[in-house]
Structure 1
Amino acid sequence: MNWGNLVSSIRIILAPFILLFAPFSIEFFIIYSVCCISDIFDGYIARKTNSVTEFGAKLDTIGDIILLSIVIIAIFPALSFPLFIWIWILIIFVIRIISMIIVYCKYKTFAMLHTTSNKISGFLLFIFVYLYPFINTTILLTFICIFTTFSAIEELIIHLKSKKLDLDIKGLFF
């Protein structure tokens, strides 16, 4: 049994249940928290049980994409923020898609890097859901977009410059 893959699978299975509950309700937060905790521990568990696989790395990325997409579908209609934030999010999304296309063209696989800045970006997105009632949404999203833009550009540069795919590269600056 690959425990890391099992933990990633929990995130993939539970994430759609977020849509069954009102955004920011207790049930929403419970499922969201379990999904996010699984994202934190899947790679750690895989490394500790000596069961890191290429499939597991892809499963983790798929789980991240599914969770993020579902959370966006669930919470963004409940939020109000300026058009420039929507445009900025779209730009970040386009940069990420370009990175994935480059990876596929260069290495014939689907992958996202586990850089330090990508991990920090994931953490910022995770805590956004908890912080939004307490901090001005525009200020919070601007801060997250700044860091996530940096992270996306860093990953794009790594993919453009690298000769081989290293999913666990720390980044250009870390």
Structure 2
Amino acid sequence: MRLIANYISLLRIFLAIMMLFVRPLSGPFFIIFVACQITDVLDGYAARKTHTTSKLGDNLDSIGDFIMILVLIIVLYPVIKLTIRIIIWVFIIAIIKIISMIVIFIKYKTFEMLHTYGNKFTGFILFAFIISLAFVQSNMIMYIVCTIASISASEELLINLFSSELQINRKSIIGVIKIERKNISSR
């Protein structure tokens, strides 16, 4: 029972990889995609409810997120008509996220991704976007997704640059500002 959250994360990784073997935007694709999203919510919930949160669980969740995004890019790129501007924008977002991971590695000697409200909202918007592909393909929706993802990735990078300690469950940059102000005033 104490490893249930980790098993759920591993299931999400397996399901994400399974999307490589089904036709994009087909019924099986959407079923697997929704199952991945459900397991993404359930792993954290199960870990908190069973008081079994762990570094391994956090890493499995982050790895699952990374694999999911990578698989979605691989399978959806050929079927979504992206403009050069959007492709460049997605590439810039990826660079910001990679720089953020490098900052964490340099400062804290670990691999982590933050669980901010911005990242959670970006995940929800990305989920809604992919579901919307069953009905309509619009570059306007991609601009909205990229805008939200840019803000979220930039916030995460700023948190990592200016935090004096790693807190993967930090909710926003506002928390960093409050803590750093408190640290400065206590010196």
Bin for the TM-score computed over the shorter chain: over 0.9
CA RMSD in angstroms comes to 1.2
The number of aligned residues is 174
Cα deviation, 1:113-144, whole Å, max 9, x if unaligned, reads 00000000011111211112444521001001
- Partner in structure 1 of residue 164 of structure 2: 163
Equivalent residues of 1:81, 1:138 under 8 A apart: yes
Q: List runs of 5+ in structure 2 lacking aligned partners.
A: 176-187
Report the Cα distance in structure 2 between the residues aligned to 1:49 and 1:144, rounded to whole angstroms: 34
Alpha-carbon separation, structure 1, partners of 2:53 and 2:113: 16
Whether the 8 Å contact between 1:132 and 1:140 is mirrored in structure 2 is no
Task: Give the superposition deviation at 1:82.
Answer: 1.1
What letter is aligned with 1:29? F
In structure 1, how many angstroms separate the alpha carbons of the residues matched to 2:174 and 2:133? 29
Instruction: Give the 4+ runs in structure 1 shifted more than 6 A.
Output: none
* Unmatched tracts of structure 1, length 5 or more: none
1:71 matched to which residue of 2? Answer: 72
Looking at structure 2, the residues matched to 90 and 173 of structure 1 have their Cα atoms a distance apart, in angstroms, of 27
2:29 is matched with 28
Residue pairs, 1:21-60, within 5 angstroms: 21-60=22-61
Identity of aligned residues (%): 41
Partners of 2:82 and 2:14 in 1: how far apart? 30
Hey, what's the Cα distance between the residues in 2 that align with 1:137 and 1:74? 17
TM-score by length of 1: 0.96
The match for 2:11 is 10
Contact 1:81 1:137 in 2 (8 A): no
TM-score (norm 2): 0.90
Larger Rg: 2
Q: Name the stretch that deviates more: 12-21 or 94-103.
A: 12-21
Measured after TM superposition, the shift of residue 20 of structure 1 is 1.0
Question: What residue number does 1:132 align with?
Answer: 133
Which letter does structure 2 place at the counterpart of 1:113?
L
In 1, Cα distance between equivalents of 2:13 and 2:57? 13
